[in-house]
């Protein structure tokens, strides 16, 4: 495919950050505009992914894992990026997640707040056709969810009855009813990484109009190497094509929408290696728990994760230790007791963590275009959260008729969320991009995705990634642009 002339907008990657940015930009760009996506992977249909269970989407060899603990970073390199392998959990961040420093003297405040993003959260939820609890939401909302919430399990109903202001149906991009785009209703089989019926939202099944727009060109097999800079202005992207030849694509606005391992590497190779580039690699951390029920059967829900518990999330404890979000699962993990197989509730506790500069991404010594992820340890703030959780959760689950409660001691190796390495902020000395994800020094360069997150709140990040991209593109291309 010939890539000629100058594009109005060039975007690296095709995941949440890139595609939602382009969706919003297209609403403002003229009919003769030209937009180019450069995607390192290929376009792999849902049927092809099912055929080989995702084996044609390898990622292990694309980065070097130098973690000092059991820590893994998982991602997807193909058209649609992480949407091909996410679990489609879409809680919003809470207002206080953006204000940890102001409220609790912890970490930093974001340079953007909840109220500024609320309308964009609604737009992202509409595009993904989110199922959620409109009349009983844990965060402020200006309009209802597009779809009704999924059906609770019997233990969920008891938790909601006991703690109505702390327990809610999980918002998710796994449909509870018919969708605008024709996606199937969630089959509740619990294999959501690769949905067997193509129900959960993906870029492929939900954002097709972006790539079908006549203004848009998609180039696959294009490995972006750096930003083409001249006099402090981005002139386009340098990439290696599918034949291994180095090429240049020219553009007026450039967006880096790769994940938080690759975006800092692209900046470093572009001569934009500031003090925070690659620093602060972080994600949430989770621990699993188990409740053996007494006379209450489980697994009546209509999706894989049905409930969200906010017992450990907000409050003054966040001044001392990490807040956490609790998920109740509907995936049938049965009890090993004849006649009482379904009397079991499995749950996951997801703790926030803080950026630490010694956790970072640098170029690998073996291949400068391969990121090396150095992760030394989780923060003391997160570890204190683990230690405080058991007593409080025992108290919560004692409201159910139970035989036994247990909480794991070993955190999961990964939550599959990569954040913090191209952080946003108001001060160029301590951040990489501003509140609109525009690079502090190169003002026609946008660095999108969860790398810009100043903190790793307990809420899953994908909805906020999409929301920030809508916000950024609207400010850059819309009537509200400064």
Q: Domain of residue 35: give its range.
A: 6-477
Total structural domains in the chain?
1
Q: How far from 312 is each of 245, 293, 309, 318, CA to CA, in Å?
A: 52, 22, 8, 9
**Residue 341 within any structural domain of the chain:** yes
Can you read off the two tokens belonging to residue 157?
A: 């109903």
DSSP for residue 83: G
Q: What is the pLDDT of residue 184?
A: 95
**Residue 419 within any structural domain of the chain:** yes
Q: Evaluate if residue 237 carries a pLDDT over 60.
A: yes
**Residue 415 within any structural domain of the chain:** yes
**Residue 398 within any structural domain of the chain:** yes
Residue 235: CB atoms within 10 Å = 19
Taking only the tens place, the pLDDT of each residue in 443-470 is 999 999 999 999 999 999 999 999 999 9
CATH number at residue 439: 3.50.50.60
Q: What is the pLDDT of residue 481?
A: 43
Whether the Cβ atoms of residue 459 and residue 453 lie closer than 8 Å to each other? no
* Cα–Cα distance measured from residue 295 to residue 273, given in angstroms and rounded to the nearest whole number: 60
Q: DSSP strand E in 64-196: where?
A: 64-65, 167-169
* Cα–Cα distance measured from residue 57 to residue 42, given in angstroms and rounded to the nearest whole number: 9
- Residues 6 or more apart whose CB falls under 8 angstroms from that of 339 comprise none
Whether the Cβ atoms of residue 449 and residue 102 lie closer than 8 Å to each other? no
Q: Which uninterrupted H or E stretch holds 227?
A: strand 223-230
Whether the Cβ atoms of residue 331 and residue 346 lie closer than 8 Å to each other? yes
Beta bridge partners of 112: none
Whether the Cβ atoms of residue 387 and residue 411 lie closer than 8 Å to each other? no
Radius of gyration of the chain (CA): 22
Instruction: Report yes or no on whether pTM surpasses 0.95.
Output: yes
**Residue 60 within any structural domain of the chain:** yes
**Residue 482 within any structural domain of the chain:** no
Taking only the tens place, the pLDDT of each residue in 397-443 is 999 999 999 999 899 999 999 999 999 999 999 999 999 999 999 99
**Residue 78 within any structural domain of the chain:** yes
Taking only the tens place, the pLDDT of each residue in 33-66 is 999 999 999 999 999 989 877 565 567 789 999 9
* Cα–Cα distance measured from residue 147 to residue 304, given in angstroms and rounded to the nearest whole number: 16
**Residue 1 within any structural domain of the chain:** no
Q: DSSP strand E in 17-104: where?
A: 35-39, 64-65
């Amino acid at each position: 495919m010939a890539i000629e002339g100058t594009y109005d907008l060039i975007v690296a990657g095709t995941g949440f950050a890139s595609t939602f940015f382009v969706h919003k930009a297209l609403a403002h760009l003229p009919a003769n505009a030209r937009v180019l996506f450069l995607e390192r992977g290929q376009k792999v249909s849902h049927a092809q992914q099912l055929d080989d269970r995702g084996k044609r989407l390898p990622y292990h060899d694309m980065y070097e894992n130098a973690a000092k603990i059991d820590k893994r970073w998982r991602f997807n390199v193909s058209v649609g990026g992480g949407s091909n392998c996410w679990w489609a959990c879409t809680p919003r961040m809470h207002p206080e997640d953006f204000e940890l420093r102001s409220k609790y003297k912890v970490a930093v405040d974001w340079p953007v707040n909840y109220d500024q993003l609320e309308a964009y959260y609604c737009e992202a939820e509409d595009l993904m056709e989110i199922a959620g609890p409109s009349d009983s939401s844990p965060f402020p909302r200006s309009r209802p969810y597009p779809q009704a919430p999924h059906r609770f399990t019997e233990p969920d109903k008891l938790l909601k009855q006991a703690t109505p202001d702390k327990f809610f149906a999980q918002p998710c991009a796994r449909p509870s009813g018919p969708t605008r785009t024709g996606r199937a209703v969630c089959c509740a089989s619990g294999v959501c990484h690769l949905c067997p019926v193509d129900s959960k939202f993906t870029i492929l099944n939900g954002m097709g109009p972006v790539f079908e727009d006549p203004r848009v060109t998609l180039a696959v097999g294009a490995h972006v190497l750096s930003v083409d800079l001249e006099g402090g202005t981005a002139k386009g992207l340098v990439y290696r094509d599918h034949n291994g030849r180095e090429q240049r694509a020219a553009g007026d606005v450039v967006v880096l929408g790769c994940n938080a391992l690759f975006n800092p590497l692209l900046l470093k190779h572009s001569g934009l290696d500031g003090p925070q580039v690659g620093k602060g690699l972080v994600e949430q951390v989770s621990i699993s728990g188990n409740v053996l029920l007494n006379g209450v059967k489980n697994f009546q829900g209509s999706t894989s994760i049905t409930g969200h518990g906010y017992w450990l999330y907000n409050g003054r404890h966040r001044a001392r230790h990490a807040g956490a979000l609790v998920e109740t699962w509907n995936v049938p993990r049965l009890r090993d007791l004849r006649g009482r197989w379904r009397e079991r509730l499995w749950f996951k506790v997801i703790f926030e963590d803080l950026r630490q500069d010694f956790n970072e991404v640098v170029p690998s010594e073996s291949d400068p275009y391969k990121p090396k992820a150095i992760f030394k340890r989780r923060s003391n703030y997160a570890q204190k959260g683990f230690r405080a959780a058991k007593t409080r959760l025992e108290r919560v689950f004692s409201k159910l008729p139970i035989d036994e409660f247990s909480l794991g001691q070993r955190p999961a190796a990964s939550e599959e969320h990569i954040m913090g390495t191209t952080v946003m902020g108001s001060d160029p000395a301590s951040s990489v991009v501003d509140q609109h994800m525009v690079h502090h020094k190169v003002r026609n360069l946008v660095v999108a995705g969860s790398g810009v997150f100043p903190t790793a709140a307990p809420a899953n990040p994908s909805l906020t990634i999409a929301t920030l991209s809508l916000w950024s593109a609207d400010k850059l291309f819309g009537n509200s642009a400064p």
